[in-house]
């Protein structure tokens, strides 16, 4: 049941497949005879220096993968000098994760019908030293994840949520769906970004933007970054693979704010392709959870290190010694199409 929850996507899982295939439709254009003795993958995101442009996406319920849960993930990300985005549906409280290690962390938020709860969680994140709010905007309702429905998936208690008293028992279907539909605010709209800005001084990144139109609105709304994402294909099936639309989003924001991407990043070559199309960094979801399930924090560290190693090798073989040198001319799309 838990494996299905971590692995699965929505409905036909067409987008889940596309998230991988989208990367496979892009080929590399390596350049030769360039000095690649020293490869520097470091980058800067919202003023924070990172060892590489690979960060940990927010994924829920880590204790279903390993008893140490998000604390193990956070420590592993810190040991790699990466950023962890802590999910709202964490099985450790944000205070526990914050005090477990010294690292840069962002907090992922959904906006709840009860705005007082939202506000108190944002304030707690701010007090605990989280450096940004990642507002997920692709989940006015939960996508139809048929494996969870069939399994009558029971999510564990959401640690950050004791203020909400919602009956999350569900006789038919997944209780995650019941929980989300009871608590998330489906009326959330662009004007609410101003409200969120009024209750926090932290920079806000919007996660789940997939079009140039929305990217322009995000810039107008004054957010500090965009994450091109289809929620790991768990929300709207037949939404495009993020890698196939990242360039459209990057062009729409014309360098006003950083654009990140997640969904289907499994190889260093995938990271390279995302950067070539203009992404500032990528986030990884399932590989982190699977590493955690296999070997706890060591497994997470291994996943990040493997991707770092692959990116470093890709950069060397493609003739790029810094991430700034990775440009649009280093990729070609099959048949000139990304989609
Ligand atoms: C997610 N994702 C997610 N996103 C979010 O904003 N809040 C959340 O609580 C969760 N929870 C969650 C649980 C699980 C098990 C998965 C697999 C994903 C989506 C996540 O942040 C990210 O967008 C995708 O996981 C990226 O795709 P890959 O790397 O899993 O292909």
3-state secondary structure of 156: coil
Tell me: pLDDT of 50 over 90: yes
Q: Helix 212-220 to helix 242-253 angle, to the nearest 10 degrees?
A: 40
Asked if 218 and 196 count as a contact pair (C-beta separation under 8 A), the reply is no
Q: Which atom of ligand 1 is nearest to the CA of 16?
A: 31
Query: Which atom of ligand 1 lies nearest, measured to the CA of 265?
Result: 29
Which is catalytic among the residues 62, 66, 231, 330? 231
- 235 touches ligand 1 (CB under 6 Å): no
What is the gyration radius of the CA atoms in the chain, in angstroms?
A: 19
User: In the numeric block, which tokens belong to residue 302?
Assistant: 């291994």
Annotated ligand binding at 314? The verdict is no
Cβ of residue 143 lying under 6 Å from some atom of ligand 1:
no
What is the per-residue pLDDT across 54-76, written as a single tens digit (0 to 9) for each? 999 999 999 999 999 999 999 99
Residue range 26-32: mean pLDDT, rounded: 98
Task: Please state the atom number of ligand 1 nearest to the C-alpha of residue 286.
Answer: 30
**Ligand 1 atom nearest residue 87's Cα:** 9
Q: Are 80 and 308 in contact (CB under 8 A)?
A: yes
pLDDT at 160 (0 to 100): 79
Q: Is 327 annotated as ligand-binding?
A: no
How much is the pLDDT for 156? 79
What's the whole-number mean pLDDT along residues 148-167? Answer: 74
CA-proximal residue: ligand 1, atom 24 (nearest): 232
Q: What angle do CA 291, 17, 260 make, to 5 degrees?
A: 65
Q: How far is the CA of 316 from the centre of ligand 1 (A)?
A: 30
Residue pLDDT, tens place only, 88-119? 999 999 999 999 998 899 999 998 888 998 99
User: Which residue, 229, 291, 181, is CA-closest to 15?
Assistant: 229
Query: What pLDDT score was predicted for residue 112?
Result: 85
* Residue 66 bears catalytic tag: no
DSSP-based three-state secondary structure for 28:
strand
- The Cα 140–Cα 180 span in angstroms is 9
Cβ density class 78-87: b for 16+ within 10 Å, e for less: bbbbbbbbbb
Report yes or no on whether pTM surpasses 0.90: yes
- Check if the beta carbon of residue 279 is closer than 8 Å to that of residue 253: no
Pocket test for ligand 1, best of 285, 289, 307 (most atoms within 8 A of CB): 285
**pLDDT digit string, tens, across residues 179-237:** 787 888 899 999 999 999 999 999 999 999 999 999 999 999 999 999 999 999 999 99
Residue carrying the six token digits 């409200």:
195
How does DSSP classify residue 259? E
Percent of the chain with pLDDT over 70: 95
Spacing of C-alpha 17 from chain mean position: 18
Where residue 139 falls among pLDDT bands split at 50, 70, 90? very high
Better-scored residue on pLDDT, 328 or 334:
328
Segment 131-153 shows an average pLDDT of 94
150 marked ligand binding residue? no
- Please give the Cα distance from 102 to 84 (Å, whole number): 11
Residue 164 has pLDDT above 70, yes or no: no
Residue 53 CA to ligand 1 center (angstroms) comes to 18
CA 240 to centroid of ligand 1, rounded, Å: 16
Q: How far is the CA of 142 from the centre of ligand 1 (A)?
A: 12
Q: Using CA of residue 77, residue 81, residue 84, residue 90, what is the dihedral sign?
A: positive
Question: What is the overall mean pLDDT for the chain?
Answer: 94
pLDDT value of position 142: 93
Pairing label, strands 281-284, 43-45: unpaired
pLDDT-derived band at 170 (thresholds 50, 70, 90) equals: low
Instruction: Report CA(57)–ligand 1 centroid distance (Å).
Output: 6
Return the exposure string of 269-303: e unless at least 16 CB atoms fall within 10 Å of the residue's CB, then b.
Answer: bbbbbbbbbbbbbbbbbbbbbbbbbebbbebbbbb
Residues 36, 18: Cα–Cα separation, whole Å: 33
C-alpha–C-alpha distance, residues 162 and 171, integer Å? 22
DSSP state of 207: E
Q: Which two tokens stand for residue 16?
A: 């889940």
Query: Is 286 a pocket residue for ligand 1 (Cβ < 6 Å)?
Result: yes
* pLDDT for residue 337 is more than 60: no
Q: How many whole angstroms separate alpha carbon 55 and alpha carbon 126?
A: 20
Give every CB contact of residue 73 below 8 A, 6+ residues apart in sequence. 56, 62, 84, 288, 292, 297, 300
| Ligand 1, atom 3, residue with closest C-alpha | 59
Residue 335, pLDDT > 70, answer no
Distance CA 309, CA 11 (A): 34
What is the pLDDT at residue 211? Answer: 98
Q: How many Å apart are CA 249 and CA 218, to the nearest integer?
A: 11
What is the DSSP code string of 315-333? HHHHT-SBGGG--GGGEEE
pLDDT at 126: 97
Q: For position 334, what pLDDT does the model report? A: 74
What's the pLDDT tens digit per position in 118-127? 999 999 999 9
ipTM beyond 0.90? yes
Phi, psi of 319 (to 5 degrees): 85, 30
The answer on pLDDT for 169 being more than 60 is: no
Position 161 scores a pLDDT of: 72
pLDDT at 327 over 90: yes
Burial class (CB in 10 A: 0-12, 13-18, 19+), 167: exposed
* Residue located via tokens 């950023």: 83
């Amino acid at each position: 049941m838990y494996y299905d929850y971590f692995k699965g996507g929505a409905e036909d899982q067409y987008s889940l497949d596309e998230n991988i295939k989208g990367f496979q439709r892009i080929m590399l254009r390596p350049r030769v005879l360039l000095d690649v003795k020293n490869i520097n993958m470091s980058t800067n995101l919202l003023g924070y220096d990172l060892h590489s442009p690979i960060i940990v996406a927010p994924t829920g319920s880590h204790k279903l993968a390993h008893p140490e849960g998000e604390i193990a993930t956070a420590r592993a990300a810190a040991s790699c000098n990466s950023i962890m985005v802590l999910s709202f549906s964490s099985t450790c409280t944000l205070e526990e994760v914050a005090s477990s290690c010294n690292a840069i962390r962002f907090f992922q938020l959904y906006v709840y019908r009860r705005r007082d709860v939202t506000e108190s969680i944002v304030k707690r994140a701010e007090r605990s030293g989280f450096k940004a709010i990642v507002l997920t905007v692709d989940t006015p309702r939960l996508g139809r994840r048929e494996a969870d429905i069939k399994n009558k998936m029971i999510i564990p208690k959401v640690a950050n949520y004791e203020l909400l008293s919602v009956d999350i028992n569900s006789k038919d279907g997944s209780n995650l769906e019941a929980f989300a539909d009871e608590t998330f605010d489906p009326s959330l709209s662009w004007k609410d970004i101003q409200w969120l800005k009024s209750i926090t001084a932290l920079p806000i990144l919007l996660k789940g933007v997939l079009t140039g139109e929305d990217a322009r609105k995000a810039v107008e709304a004054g957010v500090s970054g965009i994450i091109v994402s289809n929620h790991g294909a768990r929300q709207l099936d037949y939404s495009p693979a993020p890698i196939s639309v990242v360039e459209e989003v990057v062009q729409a924001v014309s360098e006003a704010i950083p654009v990140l991407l997640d969904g289907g990043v499994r190889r260093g070559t995938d990271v390279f392709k995302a950067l070539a199309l203009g992404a500032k960094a990528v986030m990884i979801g399932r590989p982190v959870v699977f590493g955690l399930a296999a070997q706890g924090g060591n497994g997470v560290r291994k996943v990040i290190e493997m991707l770092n190693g692959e990116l470093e090798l890709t950069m060397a073989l493609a003739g790029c010694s810094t991430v700034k040198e990775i440009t649009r001319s280093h990729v070609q799309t099959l048949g000139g199409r990304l989609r």
